[in-house]
Amino acid sequence: MKIPTRGWFWARTLCWSAKGLPLLLHGPIGYKIRLVECGWLRSRTVSEMSYLQYVKKINEFVWEIPAGVREGMRVSGIIFANRRLLEAADRDRALEQVVNVSFLPGIVRASLAMPDIHWGYGFPIGGVAAIDVQEGVVSPGGVGYDISCGVRLVKTNLDRSEVAPRMEELLANLSATVPKGLGTRGRLVLSRKEIEEIMKKGVPALLAKGVGWEEDLQFIEEEGAYPGADPSKVSERAFQRGKDQVGTLGSGNHFLEIQEVEQVYSDKAKTLGLFPGQIVVMIHSGSRGMGHQICTDYIKRMGEKLAKYHIDLPDRQLVCAPVDSPEGRDYMAAMACASNFALANREAMTQWVREGFERVFHAGAKKLGMELLYDISHNVAKLETHEVNGKSVKLLVHRKGATRAFPGSRSETPQPYREVGQPVIIPGDMGRYSYVLVGTEESLKMSFGSTCHGAGRTMSRSAAKKSIKGNELKERLQGAGILVDAATLSGLAEEAPEAYKDVSEIVEICEGAGLSERVARARPLAVLKG
């Protein structure tokens, strides 16, 4: 049985306004509400249809939605999950988005979803799509609004016994040092020319100003600079939104955590410089207002050109343009600018963290062993070469809420890690664990070298704020030995541990499926939230 692509029958549609308020609208399926196209509303058709009846079990951790389920699917959908998470994704309508992505021109092998999958804009969060650059498209929804949102882990040679007596002082120092919260300005005062240099050259442009360490570059994806960036493809509005935000944490799910390495799983931890009891610092942030505006700009521009390229989509949120078109090339150049901005943003915050540790421990950051383990993005589209049907093919791999996980055999993996594989930094929630993984050879065959990016939400932010009180959550976390400094208590409630899946289950599935391998687990000791 095939499910119709669209039908002109009436259905209820549940929408969220810009303020997060639920609205119930009525209209025919396939009808596009103008406010949705403008980004003011996010719509989901409420129906009884479930994709579970069409799913085929490949093994315990791999499931397939065959390409014949819906007319217009170019490839099958592959979901890496256990049965429980698969059912949750179906209830969330994320499986429908996996199917929708399979309609994109040029997609190869499969539309993929990681176990932390949940509903997103067009693409599910946790989605991966590899597009043949000769025949296919680039879709801003396949990258997301927070372009190059990512995670980095900074090591120290300190153990918990050395840090615990100074933890409150350290957190207070970092809170005063690292700007956080919605719309916060950074410490760096940069001219337009300097911002454009960061957009073009990434971290090296920041190093030229004396911020950051030269030795960090080999441990940053793309060595700190995405190629092809062109600031002229970034709107004035995007520039204005980002110009004061280099070195800022932001809000939402972004955080800075002081963590303790609680467990190591293999000798690969030694190669990565990790040991039990070690204090590490995890930073999670992205391209801030600049990346959001770039996504907004190009969704609108590409949406106006769909008819020109005769692209028919099951969901307007999948707006796209051929990779080698004016719109596609311009978006790629602007996306690279936002990616470089995000890398520089995290590098600047690393500088502030190092300075904070120096003040508290009265020693230089290098003496404290504050080396960068790795920095990896999980919202980006990258040009990569992969084997497809026995041939080496240039692909544009969209990873939205998914992380590159290459083995040591790939040239993209830093030389010091060639024996163990590229590190993958996986944040959990502020009450449980985070992980360090490494990529595998098997991941190249199964997922274009991709794995999960975190725990994945189970509760919306608005629902979390309604059911959880920020002050009670803070007390609960502190009772568990986790210090918290948050810009707002409502923002803290949005990111409560119960709003997320258990990241341990997520990484176990990824390991069971062969996408990545666990190396170490860390638990939070102190949390700085925007």
What is the DSSP-derived secondary structure letter of residue 351? H
State the DSSP string of 358-390: HHHHTS-TTTTT--EEEEEESEEEEEEEEEETT
State CA 167 to chain mean position distance: 29
Say how far apart CA 363 and CA 314 lie, in whole Å: 58
Could you tell me the CA-to-CA distances from 305 to 5, 38, 121, 291 in Å, in that order? 21, 15, 19, 21
Report the Cα 398 to chain-centroid distance in Å.
11
Q: Residue 254 catalytic?
A: no
d(CA 335, CA 398): 12
Burial environment of residue 383 by CB neighbours within 10 A (0 to 12, 13 to 18, 19 or more): middle
Q: What are phi and psi of 326, to 5 degrees?
A: -55, -40
Report the SS3 class of residue 276.
coil
**Alpha-carbon span 318 to 299, nearest angstrom:** 9
- Reduced to 3 states (helix: H, G, I; strand: E, B; else coil), residue 124 is coil
517 vs 265: CA distance, rounded Å: 9
Q: Which two tokens stand for residue 487?
A: 């810009």
- Per-residue CA distances from 339 to 248, 307, 419, 492 (Å): 15, 29, 28, 26
With vertex at residue 301, the alpha carbon angle to CA 96 and CA 99, rounded to the nearest 5 degrees, is: 10
Which of 254, 378, 398, 453 is the catalytic position?
453
Strands lying side by side in the sheet with 391-400: 56-59, 62-65, 76-80, 110-118, 125-132, 391-400, 379-388
Q: Do residues 397 and 384 lie in contact, with contact meaning Cβ atoms separated by under 8 Å?
A: yes
Residues catalogued as catalytic = 453
